[in-house]
Amino acid sequence: MTGLWDLFVMAAFVDNMPLTLFLGLCTFLALSKRPGSALGLGVAMIGVLGVTVPLNNLIYNALLAPGAWSWAGYPDLDLSYLALIAFIGVIAAAVQLLEMVLDRFFPEIHRAFGVFLPLLTVQCAILAGSLFMVERSYTLAESAVFGLGSGVGFAVAVTMLGAIRSRLAYADLPAGLRGLGIAFVLAGLMSLGFASFAQMAAAQ
């Protein structure tokens, strides 16, 4: 049990997706102008990552991993190079499914998400979650915890950045630094803060 909790903390804070691994930065910067939309994006990320990483883990281990077809008489078959296409397909389908379920049963939430949901298909953080799962060969339980943890880390980071940026809208910045420039500097400062989590993890 402690192993899974450690993995959750590591995925959420030590290896924070946008701030230490630079994943999903496009949406991270584009949708963090207001804390409200940032929170919406964060919740959607938790949902999609929590579903797709374990699902891709099942697909990879049952169909694509080297030796997965040995029961059918093909012990040497190695389909792992197809992982990328399979993962993208699963992510696109999961996002579509999530959108339909929300539309049918929770129309308010669906309306609040607006355009973010379909955008998540091409979000690098989500695909990276599945690719890391393969690279570090997680089990099913570990991959579920890893997916949820990464989603929580992303949500925390994007909400904080949204809050800071909405305050900064009133600041008198040099013209060239306004918008994108200051967002990068802010992300760098937050990244410094999150680097201290890595120090804590190393000290243990």
Partner 1 sequence: MARTIDYRKILTEPLIRQNPVTLQILGICSALAVTTTLATAVTMSVSLTVVLTLSAGVISMIRRHIPDTIRLIVQIVIVASLVIVIDQLLQAYFAEISRALSVYVGLITTNCLVLGRTEAFARHNAPGPAMVDAFGNGLGYSLILIIIGGLRELFGKGELFGVQVLPLADAGGWFTPLSLMLLAPSAFFLLGLLVWAIRSLLPEQAEAPEHVPPLRAEPAE
Residues at the site binding partner 1, with contacts judged by CB under 8 A: 19-26, 29-30, 81-82, 84-85, 88, 92, 121-128, 131-132, 135, 169-170, 172, 174-185, 187-189, 191-192, 195
Give the nearer residue to partner 1 in terms of CB position, either 1 or 178: 178
CB of 2 to partner 1, least distance (A): 27
Distance CA 196, CA 189 (A): 12
Give the nearer residue to partner 1 in terms of CB position, either 51 or 128: 128
Give the nearer residue to partner 1 in terms of CB position, either 70 or 96: 96
Residue 49 · residue 155 · CB < 8 Å: no
φ, ψ dihedrals at 78, nearest 5°: -125, 105
CB of 15 to partner 1, least distance (A): 11
CB of 154 to partner 1, least distance (A): 12
Q: What is the 3-class SS of 23-83, one letter each residue?
A: CCHHHHHHCCCCHHHHHHHHHHHHHHHHHHHHHHHHHHHHHHCCCCCHHHCCCCCCCHHHH
Local structure of 3: helix, strand or coil: helix
Give the nearer residue to partner 1 in terms of CB position, either 43 or 198: 198
**What single letter denotes the amino acid at residue 204?**
Q
CB of 129 to partner 1, least distance (A): 10
Local structure of 78: helix, strand or coil: coil
CB of 67 to partner 1, least distance (A): 19
Local structure of 124: helix, strand or coil: helix
CB of 108 to partner 1, least distance (A): 27
Give the nearer residue to partner 1 in terms of CB position, either 123 or 159: 123
Give the nearer residue to partner 1 in terms of CB position, either 62 or 177: 177
> What is the torsional sign of CA 106, 119, 190, 144?
positive
What DSSP designation does 1 have? Answer: -
